[in-house]
Amino acid sequence: MTIKIALTNLGKYNEGELVFTWLELPFAEGELEAAKEKIGINEQYEEWFISDTDSDLPGLEISEYADIEELNEIVKDYERLDEQYQDKVKAIIEADSIGLQEAIEDIDSIELIEDVHNDYDLGYYWIHESGCYDLKPMGNLANYIDYQSFGYDIRLEQGGSFSSFGYVARE
């Protein structure tokens, strides 16, 4: 995972000089101050901004005047999650078009059903794999279930959506 920001001296930038350094997130204590010192943040040049980013983490919203320490905490929170929960966070971001912090906060109220990518799969999952239904009493009628329509109704009822990771449902 790569998350880097270009920390840039605003005063120098306004004077026509681009003075910046790349800072990788998450950073350890003291690294932010060292980066500010490197770009000349001092009594004369007190302000800085983020002039560029390089991130492959979806949902991490970085504006030019973002709170860098808050960004760092969000990235640390994400890295503390095990791989299964990281995938769940990515699925939430993809399915619901929300930011990383909100997805991390919502993780316990979301169910991810992997390998379910459309209404048919969802209907089939609920009828055959969830354990909610016993098809034996239906006999041959079970062969005529409209899985797609049933999955569509489930998705609407749950307010769920699909991602490349699977089906995302709010609990």
Residue tagged 């350094």 (tokens): 21
The residue from 33, 64, 80 where one domain ends is: 80
- Please count the structural domains in the chain: 2
DSSP of 28-65: -TTHHHHHHHHTT-SSS---EEEEEEEE-STT----TT
Residue 48 pairs in a beta bridge with: 9
Residue 9 pairs in a beta bridge with: 48
Give residues with Cβ within 8 angstroms of 171, minimum separation 6: 109, 110, 111
The residue from 80, 99, 125 where one domain ends is: 80
CATH number of the domain residue 135 falls in: 1.10.10.1190
Residue 137's pLDDT is what? 85
Range of the domain at 64: 3-80
Tell whether 101 is covered by a domain.
Answer: no
Tell whether 125 is covered by a domain.
Answer: yes
Instruction: Chunk the chain into consecutive blocks of 10 residues (it has 171) and report each block's average pLDDT, rounded to whole numbers.
Output: 93 96 95 96 94 91 93 94 92 89 90 94 91 82 89 94 92 72
**Whole-number Å distance between alpha carbons of 117 and 94:** 13
Decide: residue 78, CB within 10 A, 0-12 exposed, 13-18 middle, 19+ buried. Answer: buried
To the nearest 10°, the Cα dihedral for 70, 71, 72, 77?
Answer: 90
Residue 28's pLDDT is what? 93
The residue from 44, 62, 80 where one domain ends is: 80
Residue 163 three-state SS: strand
70 and 124 both lie in a single domain? no
16 and 57 both lie in a single domain? yes
**Whole-number Å distance between alpha carbons of 10 and 167:** 44
Residue 34's pLDDT is what? 96
pLDDT (tens digit per residue) in 106-139:
898 889 999 999 999 999 999 988 878 888 888 8
Tell whether 99 is covered by a domain.
Answer: no
- Positive or negative, the CA dihedral 93, 97, 100, 103 is negative
57 and 111 both lie in a single domain? no
Residue 155's pLDDT is what? 95
10 and 69 both lie in a single domain? yes
58 and 116 both lie in a single domain? no
Find the angle CA(144)-CA(148)-CA(152) to the nearest 5 degrees: 135
Residue 96's pLDDT is what? 85
CATH number of the domain residue 63 falls in: 3.10.20.480
